[in-house]
Amino acid sequence: MGTEGEAAARGGGTGTTGANGALCLHSYWRSSAAYRVRIGLNLKGLKYDIAPVHLVRGGGEQHGEEFAALNPQELVPVLQHGHRNLRQSLAILEYLDEMWPEPPLLPATARDRARVRALSQVIACDIHPLNNLRVLQFFERDWGVPLPEREVWVKHWISNGFHALEALLADNPSTGEFCDGNLPTIADCCLVPQVYNARRFGVDMRAYPVITRIEQSCLELPAFESARPERQPDAPGS
C-alpha cells in the first residue's frame, strides 16, 4: 500500500461526477442492494444526492406510481445520472467502474474479474433475493407464516450462502485483505451489506472467520463507513 492509486482505492476517487450530469441515488437506509451502490459511489469519490424511498411506510413508497415509473420492478436502488436511470446494483457498480475507471472496482485480469463477479453473484443472485422484503411479506400476508419461521428461513439461506462464500474465500490464494487482493472490489461492495443483514437476523458470524475479517477491513475505510445504514439521512434518528 502507499501509492496514490491505492490511497484513492481505499479512500475514494476524484470527487467529480464528470460532464454527464448529477448523480442521485434512490435508496433506503436499510436496503442492502442500495448499500452496495453507496459503497461503490463512495469508493469512486463521487458526489451524489440521496432520494430516500421508504420501503415499509404506507405499504412501501416503491409501489407508488412515481417510483414505479422509475423502476417497474419497484425495487431500490435506482441511480439517476443526468437523464439516465440505472437499475440493478451489480449493473450500476459496473457502470460506475466504466464511467469512472479510477480507482477500479474490478481486478486487472479476466480470471480475477470472473472470480470477483462470481463472489458478488453468490450474494446478490443467490442469497439476497431469497430474503428480500417482498418475499418475507408474501410469506406473512399470503401464507400467514409466523415471524419465527420467517426468521429461520432468512438465517438458513444466509448461512447456506455464507458457508459456500467462506470456502471460496478461504481456499483461494487470490483472497487478500479484501475478497480479491488488497483493494476493494464489487465483491466487497456486496459482502459488507450482506453481513449487515446477517447480523440483523442473528446469524452467528463466528462460523465465518474470513468473511468477518474482510468485513472488518472494509469497515475501516471511510467509503464503507459512510455508506453504513445508520449513517444515512433517512435512518431513524438522523
Ligand X SMILES: N[C@@H](CCC(=O)N[C@@H](CS)C(=O)NCC(=O)O)C(=O)O
Residues 106-135 that bind ligand X (CB under 6 A): 124, 132-134
Q: Under the criterion CB under 6 A, does residue 172 sit at the interface with ligand X?
A: no
For the CB of residue 135, give the shortest distance to ligand X in the complex, in Å. 7
Q: Under the criterion CB under 6 A, does residue 71 sit at the interface with ligand X?
A: no
Q: Under the criterion CB under 6 A, does residue 198 sit at the interface with ligand X?
A: no
The region of 6-14, 82-90, 149-157, 228-236 touching ligand X under the rule CB under 6 A is: 82-90
Of the two residues 10 and 81, which places its CB atom closer to ligand X in the complex? 81
Q: Under the criterion CB under 6 A, does residue 194 sit at the interface with ligand X?
A: no
Of the two residues 8 and 195, which places its CB atom closer to ligand X in the complex? 195
Residue 113 dihedral angles phi and psi, to the nearest 5°:
-65, -40
Block residue for cell numbers 467502474:
97
Task: By CB under 6 A, name the one of 41, 76, 187, 218 that touches ligand X.
Answer: 76
Binding site for ligand X (CB under 6 A): 31-33, 55, 60, 62, 75-77, 88-90, 124, 132-134
